[in-house]
Amino acid sequence: MENALVNVPVIYEKIAQHFDETRTSHWTKVKEFILSLPRNSFLLDIGCGNGKYASVRKDIYYIGTDITLPLLYKSKFHTVSTEVFRSSCIDKLPIKPASMDAILHIAVLHHFATYEERLRILLSFFHYLSLSGRLIVTVWAYEQSNVKKRDVKWKRISSDTTDYLIPWLDKHTKVTYQRFYHLFPKEEICQLIDDILQIYSNYESILSFDCDNWVVEFRPKQICL
């Protein structure tokens, strides 16, 4: 498994052209989140890939960061209010603390192997949120609608985890690459939420299920005066 983990960024560099061609549409939950932001909001997309969510709004400031440089080069929606730069989500980002109105972390966290690492990554994002800032995270769920695909086509790494190697056949090179994924059972995503809210008790969460993914939004609790 260690080699599979190390190779995740390398694989996405190799499949960048094909991957970019398949990542053009917007997920409904994520698009709704972006559309709900006030005008002139600062939106940070951590693990932005080809920057497809920069096209949702032209009246907000979009900042995207990703480890895969070939995908950043393919960012299609640059405007005067858009900026992208290369960085891993485990790095300290060159972003001013408490300056972001919203953060996206879409389909990235499931590439990390341990619970502790996944929790540490999510906790680090709150450092960049303003007092009213919100965070949305999506991960692949273990509860897949196509159980046969999960149990037959995907390779489970061991019986005591929900870690998988999931193939990507690159249409340009005709090479199949095995990408590491951790699939999240519902009880695990709920535990992750609970651990975060134990630390950030001024936040609340909304958990939903969309297209075989868990979608979590963290937002500040409403203060009743």
pLDDT tens digits for 138-149? 999 999 999 999
Tell me what pLDDT residue 77 has.
Answer: 58
Q: For the segment 152-194, what is each residue's pLDDT rounded down to a tens digit?
A: 999 999 999 999 999 999 999 999 999 999 999 999 999 999 9
Let me know if residue 225 belongs to a domain. Answer: no
CB hemisphere CA count around 119 (13 angstroms): 16
Let me know if residue 157 belongs to a domain. Answer: yes
Q: 119: domain CATH number?
A: 3.40.50.150
Q: Is the model's pLDDT at 75 over the cut of 80?
A: no
> Structural domain of residue 85, as residue ranges?
2-220
Tell me what pLDDT residue 24 has.
Answer: 86
- Residue 23: CB partners within 8 Å, gap ≥ 6? 49, 50, 52
DSSP 8-class letter at 26: -
Higher pLDDT, 110 or 77: 110
How does residue 15 score in pLDDT terms, banded at 50, 70 and 90?
Answer: very high
- Residue 203: CB partners within 8 Å, gap ≥ 6? 126, 196, 197, 218, 219, 220, 221
Statement: the pTM of the whole predicted model exceeds 0.75:
yes
Number of structural domains the chain divides into: 1
Tell me what pLDDT residue 76 has.
Answer: 59
Whole-number average pLDDT of the chain? 91
Tell me what pLDDT residue 5 has.
Answer: 46
Assign residue 112 a region (left: φ > 0; alpha: ψ between -120 and 50; beta: otherwise): beta
Maximum Cα–Cα distance across the chain:
61
